[in-house]
Chain A
Amino acid sequence: MKGSQVTVKGVEKYFGGFHALKNVSLGINKGEFYSLLGPSGCGKTTLLRIIAGFEDPSAGAVFLDDRDVIPIAANKRPVNTVFQTYALFPHLSVFENVAFPLRLKKLPNAAVKEKVGEFLELVKLPKEGGKLPSQLSGGQKQRVAIARALINEPSVLLLDEPLSALDAKLRQHMLIELDAIHDKIGITFIYVTHDQQEALSVSDRVAVMNEGEVVQVGTPSEIYESPSCPFVAHFIGETNYLGGEVAEVLDGKHARVDFPGIGALYVYQDKPLSVGDGVKVTVRPEKIRISSDKPEGQAGRMNVLEGTVDELIYSGFQSKFFVRVSASATFRIFRQHVKYFMDEKAINWKDKVYIWWNDNDGYVVEAEKNP
């Protein structure tokens, strides 16, 4: 493997009185595509800048493989950055931008030419070398920035919200290309983003950050399916978030929980629960089925509720329903339009509906012991 293992140990960062990073520790594997995900101001960019060497941590250490890199200046670290604003040198052509690190090393012209050609090829811009950055589109600038950051053959590539300036469609496209580039060169990628979809779709693992702390590390599906705290449950995707009290502990993996205004529901749980504990439960909207007919013949422990459609948003590939089951409780539900819509029984505003989901689809995020 060409990439480096990155270890962040107990990193703290203060800006004046502001505590930007609170005891952050991470282990990033060789060649991993690793995302730091969180809302703006959560400290993810600061952490990236510390790894790059633009900031020094107030405490703690960063290791590349087994080498402590904090004493090493940014220009000496085998780490390169793709900046959010691209940071292309406006006075230099695309070619010279990419060649910049090689010129610093005073490589002979022929070698520079060959290598820059190779990397422009990698980012699919073989013909744009003579242009100035101002003559490029946003996506092209992005590619130049990537080529420039890779030409030094770093062992870790840091990407600071690299796609935030692009429009949605192009962002999708660039994500796929980034993934392809990562597969091709095999170095460690650390990707900072506030966009959960970006993070989930390309990462091997994701670290979710909030207010200077790492709140959960896991694969995209772990993060999505088993959020470790309310913040993660809310930040990643949309959800129904309910609070209730354990009525019965079933088989160690399931429980029956009383929800005020809703009633008793079966949930999945992996925490030691006992009767009377207060719990918070997340149910993803796409896990809930909706129909105007009462569901029949469903196996296992099923949660079935009755309600009325309060609001309904059609968006092509799916519809989003807000179903009121009581004066105090509304569920959001996504229904994918897998069939031609005429085949499905239409559900309209104000309709009476049934909603149901499996006991495994409600997940206990947080539990509070009954005192």
Chain B
Amino acid sequence: MNRIGKHATPNRPTGKFSFGMFTFVICFLYTPLVILVAYSFNQSKMMSWGGFSLRWYSELFFNSESLWHSFGNSAIIAVTSATISTAIGTLGAIGFYWYRFKFKKLIRIAAFVPILIPEIIIGVSLLIFFAGIKLNLSLFTIFLAHTTFNIPFVLMVVTARLEEFDFTIIEAAYDLGAKELQTLAKVILPAAFPGIMSGFLIAVTLSLEDFVVTFFVSGRGSATLPLHIYSMIRFGVSPVINALSVIVIAGTVVLAVLSRNVVKYMFQK
């Protein structure tokens, strides 16, 4: 079924109701963001239109050192925690998927539990834990916390990818004389690479995004971007945040376009 098949497939009876709901959802999701973008070019400090201006962008780029410092913190933590959690999560996914051993089922289920627990619980328990072992709150504690909540997501995403591919290729590799490590490096990891990449990207996103856990485990001077934003918006509208939002949204669009298949693995069972 080629050219003709494409046309001859049933015309899609997409209902008016579902179309209406979808349109509503998209409008709902985008209206506030569009307003932020529009008002980032507003001359006025208030949310009433005072003419076009780039002053908030110049404020953002040339007069917001602490914001950029917190952005730097976020970037460092995102990359390091995503790297470590991807490594740990990928190894775990391969181990769970390919081997049989004692307590496997128990450990596997337990490894998914952090996803099902409200974030605040992770934040609170880590804060109390760090206090208990007398670890001062700093970027390092944020890194530990982020790695912890990232691991189960990486595990989930990589597992979904592994379930997609044909494990006889591993048997084929052994059959052709590859050793354990060679098989891992030359067959398993390349085959699972899209999943690993997705896992890494999700970890970066979750880390950049996180406010709740970070709020509890950050110390003085270790503010991340979300914490900085929080301190700015607590008391109302801030035009610099409008400008920042545009940068963030633009960055998100680029990231989303570049990594479209990431989400594919995210909600598979």
Indicate yes or no for A touching B, C-beta below 8 A. Answer: yes
Residue ranges of A at the interface with B (Cβ–Cβ < 8 Å): 15-16, 18, 20, 40-41, 43, 45-46, 49, 54-55
B116 interface residue (CB < 8 Å to A): no
Contact with A along B1-40 (1 / 0, CB 8 A): 1111101101100000000000000000000000000000
Neighbouring A residues of B1 by C-beta, 8 Å: 40-41
Contact B8–A20 (Cβ < 8 Å)? yes
Contact B7–A43 (Cβ < 8 Å)? no
Neighbouring B residues of A20 by C-beta, 8 Å: 4, 7-8
Shortest 5 CB-CB distances between A and B: which pairs?
A41-B4, A18-B7, A15-B7, A40-B1, A46-B8
Pairs across A and B, CB under 8 Å, 25 listed = A15-B7, A15-B8, A15-B11, A16-B7, A18-B4, A18-B7, A20-B4, A20-B7, A20-B8, A40-B1, A40-B4, A40-B5, A41-B1, A41-B2, A41-B3, A41-B4, A41-B5, A41-B8, A43-B8, A45-B8, A46-B8, A49-B10, A54-B10, A55-B10, A55-B11
Query: CB-nearest residue of chain B relative to A44?
Result: B8
Chain B interface, >50% SS class = helix
Query: CB-nearest residue of chain A relative to B5?
Result: A41
Neighbouring B residues of A18 by C-beta, 8 Å: 4, 7
Neighbouring A residues of B5 by C-beta, 8 Å: 40-41
Q: Within the assembled complex, what's the spacing in Å between the Cα atoms of A127 and B212?
A: 57
Neighbouring B residues of A16 by C-beta, 8 Å: 7
Neighbouring B residues of A45 by C-beta, 8 Å: 8
Query: CB-nearest residue of chain B relative to A49?
Result: B10
Q: A18-B4, A41-B1, A41-B2 are in contact. List 9 more A-B contacts (CB 8 A).
A: A15-B11, A18-B7, A40-B1, A40-B5, A41-B8, A45-B8, A46-B8, A49-B10, A54-B10
Query: CB-nearest residue of chain B relative to A41?
Result: B4
Query: CB-nearest residue of chain B relative to A19?
Result: B7
Q: Within the assembled complex, what's the spacing in Å between the Cα atoms of A41 and B10?
A: 12
Residue ranges of B at the interface with A (Cβ–Cβ < 8 Å): 1-5, 7-8, 10-11
Q: Within the assembled complex, what's the spacing in Å between the Cα atoms of A55 and B8?
A: 11
Neighbouring A residues of B7 by C-beta, 8 Å: 15-16, 18, 20
Separation in Å of the A147 CB from the closest CB of chain B? 24
Query: CB-nearest residue of chain B relative to A46?
Result: B8
Separation in Å of the A41 CB from the closest CB of chain B? 3
Neighbouring A residues of B10 by C-beta, 8 Å: 49, 54-55
Neighbouring A residues of B8 by C-beta, 8 Å: 15, 20, 41, 43, 45-46
Q: Within the assembled complex, what's the spacing in Å between the Cα atoms of A40 and B11?
A: 17
Q: Within the assembled complex, what's the spacing in Å between the Cα atoms of A45 and B34?
A: 46
Q: Within the assembled complex, what's the spacing in Å between the Cα atoms of A16 and B5?
A: 13
Query: CB-nearest residue of chain B relative to A43?
Result: B8
Q: Within the assembled complex, what's the spacing in Å between the Cα atoms of A49 and B8?
A: 10
Neighbouring B residues of A54 by C-beta, 8 Å: 10
Separation in Å of the B162 CB from the closest CB of chain A? 23
Q: Within the assembled complex, what's the spacing in Å between the Cα atoms of A40 and B10?
A: 14
Neighbouring A residues of B2 by C-beta, 8 Å: 41
Q: Within the assembled complex, what's the spacing in Å between the Cα atoms of A301 and B89?
A: 84
Q: Within the assembled complex, what's the spacing in Å between the Cα atoms of A15 and B10?
A: 9
Query: CB-nearest residue of chain B relative to A42?
Result: B4
Q: Within the assembled complex, what's the spacing in Å between the Cα atoms of A18 and B4?
A: 8
Neighbouring B residues of A55 by C-beta, 8 Å: 10-11
Q: Within the assembled complex, what's the spacing in Å between the Cα atoms of A259 and B5?
A: 39
Q: Within the assembled complex, what's the spacing in Å between the Cα atoms of A55 and B13?
A: 9
Q: Which of B3, B8, B11 has the most CB of A within 10 A?
A: B8
Separation in Å of the B22 CB from the closest CB of chain A? 22
Separation in Å of the B21 CB from the closest CB of chain A? 23
Separation in Å of the B10 CB from the closest CB of chain A? 6
Separation in Å of the B11 CB from the closest CB of chain A? 6
Q: Within the assembled complex, what's the spacing in Å between the Cα atoms of A321 and B11?
A: 47
Query: CB-nearest residue of chain A relative to B1?
Result: A40
Neighbouring B residues of A40 by C-beta, 8 Å: 1, 4-5
Q: Within the assembled complex, what's the spacing in Å between the Cα atoms of A311 and B7?
A: 41
Q: Within the assembled complex, what's the spacing in Å between the Cα atoms of A31 and B129?
A: 80
Q: Within the assembled complex, what's the spacing in Å between the Cα atoms of A254 and B116?
A: 85
Q: Within the assembled complex, what's the spacing in Å between the Cα atoms of A46 and B1?
A: 14
Q: Which of A20, A46, A54 has the most CB of B within 10 A?
A: A46
Separation in Å of the A235 CB from the closest CB of chain B? 16
Q: Within the assembled complex, what's the spacing in Å between the Cα atoms of A301 and B151?
A: 87
Q: Within the assembled complex, what's the spacing in Å between the Cα atoms of A18 and B5?
A: 11
Q: Within the assembled complex, what's the spacing in Å between the Cα atoms of A41 and B4?
A: 5
Neighbouring A residues of B11 by C-beta, 8 Å: 15, 55
Separation in Å of the B9 CB from the closest CB of chain A? 9
Separation in Å of the A155 CB from the closest CB of chain B? 24
Q: Within the assembled complex, what's the spacing in Å between the Cα atoms of A15 and B7?
A: 6
Q: Within the assembled complex, what's the spacing in Å between the Cα atoms of A265 and B118?
A: 88
Neighbouring B residues of A43 by C-beta, 8 Å: 8
Q: Which of A15, A16, A20 has the most CB of B within 10 A?
A: A15
Query: CB-nearest residue of chain B relative to A39?
Result: B4
Q: Within the assembled complex, what's the spacing in Å between the Cα atoms of A18 and B11?
A: 12
Separation in Å of the B69 CB from the closest CB of chain A? 55
Q: Within the assembled complex, what's the spacing in Å between the Cα atoms of A43 and B2?
A: 14
Query: CB-nearest residue of chain B relative to A211?
Result: B4
Q: Within the assembled complex, what's the spacing in Å between the Cα atoms of A165 and B1?
A: 16
Neighbouring A residues of B4 by C-beta, 8 Å: 18, 20, 40-41
Q: Within the assembled complex, what's the spacing in Å between the Cα atoms of A20 and B9?
A: 11
Q: Within the assembled complex, what's the spacing in Å between the Cα atoms of A16 and B7?
A: 8
Separation in Å of the B244 CB from the closest CB of chain A? 45
Q: Within the assembled complex, what's the spacing in Å between the Cα atoms of A20 and B11?
A: 12
Q: Within the assembled complex, what's the spacing in Å between the Cα atoms of A43 and B7?
A: 10
Q: Within the assembled complex, what's the spacing in Å between the Cα atoms of A55 and B7?
A: 13
